[in-house]
Structure 1
Amino acid sequence: MTTVSAILFDRDGTLVADVPYNGDPERVRPLPGAREAVALARSHGLATGVVSNQSGIGRGLLTTGQVRRVNERADALLGGLDLWLFCPHTPEDGCPCRKPRPGLVRAAAVRLGVPPAACLVVGDIAADVLAARAAGARGVLVPNAATAPEERRRFADDSAPDVLTAVRDALGAAAGRTPA
């Protein structure tokens, strides 16, 4: 097993409440356990980052500046992460960075100075887990009300009930313990 050196989180529905095409920093609300999950990862010396699809930019619904301000607010509320990357493209653009493609995960690994295989990607939909796998990283699904039932079934063996448990399990596995 490769040691986890970095944890990459999806933003909306994983760390913060999903507000579709949110351009307003005042609407950012951390999800339960998110701040604690980031703090736990950092306290164990892991690099942390966010990899997020933000197609609202490509659709003309948001500006890059709005997404950056929302990310800054989320970063402040979550206690600070090392890296924030986002894909501004629509699904139709076919870009290599949009999850489930591996571009965001690979770019984050390079910027954090770790191999993709040493990254854990935590997200709420299949695209997050698939992006991790495509990049050579490990993915964990943290389902929520918006996660499709077929995605829950498909990734049942690679899931956690919440983001804090996902981080705890990763730390336990890295220490040689069997995840709970």
Structure 2
Amino acid sequence: MRPVEISGKRLGLREVTTADVDALHAVYGDPAATEHLPFDPRTREEVEEIVAEALDAAGAAPRRLYVLAVTETESGEVIGVARLHIEADHPHSAEIGLGLRPDHWGRGIGTDLIRLLLTFGFRHLRLHRIWGARSPANTAAQLAMLVAGMVEEGRIRHHVRARGAWRDSVVHSALEDEWEGHRDD
């Protein structure tokens, strides 16, 4: 396995480690950070399991799942988590997901993170299509995806069950031949 380590101007992506559990729990366990995600806030033990699964996935061949710590470039502090999951039946397509600590919202960090994920997927993994789904109420994610160069494809009705109710998802995607890689951060 060749570990992932990518840096942009403000953010970096690297493999998660067991030392990241508390930092990741600050995202996965926060009710505000998970408000639009398809699961309830996670316990610390559940985050430990996520990290263990990520470490196992990192050694798989072929590798299909990347769970990456999002770090501030200057401080190296872990401020979020990013996932890229390559589809088994369509190995040139991958789904992305991300979460950031709420104290980092509103500064364009989400857009930077999506651009970094697109760079990783298109340049390093040679993917053709990268997509992500968001809650219709998550207008911040909508803006971040659009500004990062993703296109809104449409709505999947009653796509996920979250917090005891069915919720739609809005899908966005980017294609390698349409992607503006010169906008890297």
TM-score by length of 2: 0.37
TM-score by length of 1: 0.37
Structure (1/2) with the larger helix percentage: 1
Structure (1/2) with the larger strand percentage: 2
